[in-house]
Structure 1
Amino acid sequence: MTTSGPGRPRDPAVDRRILDAALEVYGRDGWGGFRVEAVAKHAGAGKASVYLRWHSGEELLAEALSHLGHIEDIDTGDVRTDLMRLAEQIRDRHLGSTGRAAQRLAVEAHQVPAIEQRWKAARDAQVSAARSLVRRAIARGELPPGTSVTLLLDLLLGSTTMHLQAAPDHLAEKSARTSSDYIREVVDFLLDAFRARSIAAEDRAAVSHS
């Protein structure tokens, strides 16, 4: 048991249930429809119990969203493995009960002052980690020097999220189940494409100087 203040014991299991419910409600209804009453009902807890723990819906949602998975820096020394793991982290954020909340957050963070700056800082850190991954691969010679970091990441992460988001409801489960195979195919395609593009550019340059 933990306490949030003198004489107010807190059960971590109840806290977790309420936080999970907050993510579910936010993912379903967005910030405009987010209500503590709905969270309490979804969690099987009393409204008063929620307010004993969090003073406002904004405070509750800010803590709930802080538990969403963040993109970790990856450096295995192999660009193929690194890119696959990066895409898998993005995929995992879009799956399960927190997926809709993560998608909402990317669009609505500016509407919730308590989380906007925190979300921007986390987003910037994630972008920096992803870009560093590609730059390390270029430095190791696994990718050509002229590789566009932005283009590579846009193609990889964009295709990963679209694979899940664009799947019709009756294929959503299959898309999630086969996503690792899909990610592997995309990574291999992109690595081949960027390397071939560099070779083609070198050939054109050689012809123009001949």
Structure 2
Amino acid sequence: MPENALRVDIWSDVICPWCFIGKRRLETALGRFEHDVELHWHSFQLDPAHEKGHRVPVREMLAAKFGAPPAQVDGMQRQVTDLAAAEGLTYHLDRAIAVNTLDAHRLGHLAAEHGLGDRMHERLLKAHLSDGEVIDDPDTLVRLGAEVGVPAAEAADVLRGTKYAAEVQADIDQAKRLGITGVPFFVLNGTHGVSGAQSAETFLAALEQAR
């Protein structure tokens, strides 16, 4: 970490459409922020009770979760897709598959060990929200990791076992201690919190204040 760099800790889930929007808006703010920043990604599970191995279209999952008719779910998804497009992101939420994200987060921790945490989180978000990838599939995760530079053999070894599960849980426990109940959530220099996918202007003001 460069001397005097501002630390930004981010809690996010790799299936969270608002997290990708928040990432882009933060990056826009960082482009206007004239100081060094180091990002640290932390695991969060929007639905930790989602049964491992259970795969269901997000559209069906949301309809069941909110007791909403399909037309209402489609409207919600169109709204977030339009907001994503304004940040240069292309969502295909009609193809998104809801899964348990524990293994994807374990891969994220491995990637962070290689200095690839930000690139891995970006790839996982795109895989789920844009590409219709099934991100609890071990072979898919190994391939996505390799795309950003994570050694395939290491990723496969991690995904066969339980390595980094404790680190994922530690992130989640830390979020609870901080009172974080939703993501994305950003902690700047350990002193300032920003909740949600705020505007780039809000992020920039928070970065200046935290510094």
The TM-score normalised by the length of structure 2 is 0.26
- TM-score normalised to structure 1 length: 0.26
Please identify the structure whose Cα radius of gyration is greater. Answer: 1
More helix by share: 1
Instruction: Pick the structure with more strand per residue.
Output: 2
